């Protein structure tokens, strides 16, 4: 399988139609920024280098993108001002050099392209003998994309923008997505000669395709098998469409590994979640990035597992339970109406209904430790930091004060919680 030498990601746009004020490519998408999905696309092609063109919010975008690539394979190019896709590639000329090899162009707002589609694009380019290849689609709604006019031999004759298309050309269903594979020498040769003689006064990469066709180079168009891959995000509506497709992919991956997702339509599992086989995820459950779940666990319904949650094998988190930055040991259970934050629960710990780990004192978070076999009664409030020893018990409605250390096997009840002595009375610890 041929590999590109250079991948360029265009990520300089402002995205005014998103109406967020933030750079469009950093819009949140299933637990990470949209740009992260595109960086993955680029790195999956195993190029020698990746150029990321930044502009609006350049520093913020660059800092974020650097976090998506632990290998330091990204190089950043500034586009100021932003004058179209052709201008973005012109800004890359010093970095590209005279012969950048095969160059693939991607977009920071197209998060759904699959590795297989991009590999086929590069493969098709290799068969053009120095021409170019482009991705196209046949969507039900063209959304103003340029139409592809083909020759008798099926190669691309020209790209007609919707505003310039004749009625018979508007009936063409195949549209240009702007994702290309170029022979780098020809790209570099044509870029300086692009014109901005248009209403927008911008330079367009489609003009490079026109120039290649005019000099007799073959340009091939590869139609995407799944039109969902063609979704480009320009509005929050588009972002929701992209999220739905990515969520389906993530859920399918988990299910194929043996995770029983009972109702995919009501389940959110973000990117980067680890789940072991034989775990049952019940309806209306939300599992955020950074969560690790072992084998044979039970989660939900209506559970919310936030970042830093770790469930050991056989643990259970049930109805209307929220966890954050907490570890539940093997076969530990928090089954009903509880908040477990900044906690370490041992094996076979039981957290009763309505229990709250009060982990925040207004300035800082504090941790609670509940050791193996402990039983935390319904409605208990643990005001962190607290330690509940092995096999210890708290009574229903107990409020365990900050700094308390309940020894192994003891029973504490009341407000504030005190040790229950052999007579059945609550006594102050240590009396």
Give the CATH number for residue 387.
Answer: 2.160.10.10
Asked if 157 and 71 sit in the same domain, the reply is yes
Half-sphere exposure of 97 (CA within 13 A, CB side): 8
Residue 26 inside a domain? The answer is yes
Phi/psi of residue 349, nearest 5 degrees = -70, 140
> In DSSP terms, which residues pair with 411 in a beta bridge?
393
Asked if 33 and 131 sit in the same domain, the reply is yes
264-283: pLDDT as tens digits: 999 999 999 999 999 999 99
To 5 degrees, how large is the angle CA 376–CA 382–CA 385? 125
Asked if 303 and 204 sit in the same domain, the reply is no
Structure tokens at 107: 């977009």
Asked if 57 and 194 sit in the same domain, the reply is yes
DSSP string, 34-52: HHHHHHHHHHHT--SEEEE
Residue 183 inside a domain? The answer is yes
Using the structure block, give the residue that is written with the tokens 């595109």: 38
Asked if 285 and 353 sit in the same domain, the reply is yes
Contact 112, 248 (CB under 8 A): no
Say how many C-beta atoms besides its own lie within 10 A of residue 259's C-beta: 22
**Among 215, 230, 245, residue at a domain's last position:** 230
Structure tokens at 372: 């193996």
**CB within 8 A of 357, min separation 6: which ones?**
326, 339, 340, 341, 342, 343, 368, 382, 384
pLDDT confidence of residue 430: 42
Asked if 196 and 284 sit in the same domain, the reply is no
Asked if 273 and 193 sit in the same domain, the reply is no
Residue 24 inside a domain? The answer is yes
Contacts for 256-261: CB closer than 8 Å, 24+ residues apart: none
Instruction: Give the number of domains in the chain.
Output: 2
Residue 245 inside a domain? The answer is no
Residue 1 inside a domain? The answer is no
Ranges of the chain whose pLDDT falls below 70: 143, 422-431
Contact 183, 98 (CB under 8 A): no
Residues annotated as catalytic are 336
Rounded CA-CA distance 93/420 in Å is 77
Structure tokens at 316: 């259970």
Q: Judge residue 15's burial from the number of C-beta atoms within 10 Å of its C-beta, 0-12 exposed, 13-18 middle, 19 or more buried.
A: buried
Contact 353, 335 (CB under 8 A): yes
**Among 230, 245, 271, residue at a domain's last position:** 230
Asked if 225 and 365 sit in the same domain, the reply is no
pLDDT confidence of residue 165: 79
| DSSP secondary structure letter of residue 365 | B
Asked if 69 and 212 sit in the same domain, the reply is yes
Residue 421 inside a domain? The answer is yes
Residue 401 inside a domain? The answer is yes
**Among 181, 212, 230, residue at a domain's last position:** 230
Asked if 59 and 203 sit in the same domain, the reply is yes
Q: Domain residues for 267?
A: 262-427
316-343: pLDDT as tens digits: 999 999 999 999 999 999 999 999 999 9
Phi/psi of residue 192, nearest 5 degrees = -65, -15
pLDDT confidence of residue 423: 64
Q: What is the CATH number of the domain that holds 99?
A: 3.90.550.10
Asked if 212 and 282 sit in the same domain, the reply is no
Residue 236 inside a domain? The answer is no
Asked if 169 and 79 sit in the same domain, the reply is yes
Say how many C-beta atoms besides its own lie within 10 A of residue 172's C-beta: 16
348-406: pLDDT as tens digits: 999 999 999 999 999 999 999 999 999 999 999 999 999 999 999 999 999 999 999 99
Sign, CA dihedral 331-333-335-340, equals negative
């Amino acid at each position: 399988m041929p590999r590109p030498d250079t991948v360029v990601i265009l990520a300089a746009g402002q995205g005014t139609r998103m109406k967020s004020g933030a750079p469009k490519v950093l819009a949140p998408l299933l637990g990470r920024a949209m740009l992260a999905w595109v960086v993955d696309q680029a790195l999956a092609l195993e190029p020698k280098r990746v150029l990321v063109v930044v502009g609006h919010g350049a520093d913020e975008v660059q800092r974020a993108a650097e976090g998506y690539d632990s290998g330091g394979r990204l190089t950043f190019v500034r586009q100021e001002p932003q004058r179209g896709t052709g201008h973005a590639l012109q800004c890359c000329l010093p970095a590209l050099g005279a012969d950048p090899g095969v160059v693939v162009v991607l977009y920071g707002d197209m998060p759904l392209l699959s590795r297989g589609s991009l590999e086929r694009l590069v493969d098709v380019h290799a068969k053009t003998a120095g021409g170019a290849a482009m991705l196209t689609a046949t969507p039900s709604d063209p959304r103003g994309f340029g139409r592809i006019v083909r020759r008798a031999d099926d190669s691309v004759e020209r790209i007609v923008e919707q505003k310039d298309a004749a009625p018979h050309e508007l009936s063409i269903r195949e549209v240009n997505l702007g994702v290309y594979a170029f022979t780098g020498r020809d790209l570099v040769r044509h870029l300086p000669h692009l014109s901005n003689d248009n209403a927008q006064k911008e330079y367009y990469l489609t003009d490079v395709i026109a120039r290649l066709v005019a000099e007799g180079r073959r340009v091939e168009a590869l139609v995407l098998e799944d039109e969902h891959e063609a979704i480009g995000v320009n509005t929050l509506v588009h972002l929701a469409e992209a999220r739905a497709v990515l969520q389906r992919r993530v859920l399918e991956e988990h299910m194929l590994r043996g995770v029983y997702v009972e109702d995919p339509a009501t389940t959110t599992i973000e990117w980067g979640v680890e789940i072991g086989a034989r775990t049952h995820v019940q309806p209306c459950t939300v599992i955020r990035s950074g969560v690790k779940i072992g084998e044979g666990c039970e989660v939900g319904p209506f559970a919310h597992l936030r970042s830093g949650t770790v469930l050991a094998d056989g643990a259970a988190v049930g109805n209307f339970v929220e966890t954050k930055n907490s570890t539940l040991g093997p076969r530990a259970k928090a089954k009903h109406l509880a908040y477990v934050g900044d906690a370490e629960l041992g094996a076979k710990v039981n957290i009763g209904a309505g229990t709250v780990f009060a982990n925040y004192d207004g300035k800082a978070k504090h941790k609670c430790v509940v050791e193996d076999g402990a039983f935390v009664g319904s409605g208990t409030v643990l005001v962190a930091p607290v330690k509940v020893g092995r096999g210890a018990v708290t009574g229903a409605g107990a409020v365990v004060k900050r700094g308390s250390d309940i020894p192994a096997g003891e029973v504490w009840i009341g407000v504030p919680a005190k040790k229950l002595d052999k007579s059945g009375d609550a006594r102050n610890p240590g009396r």
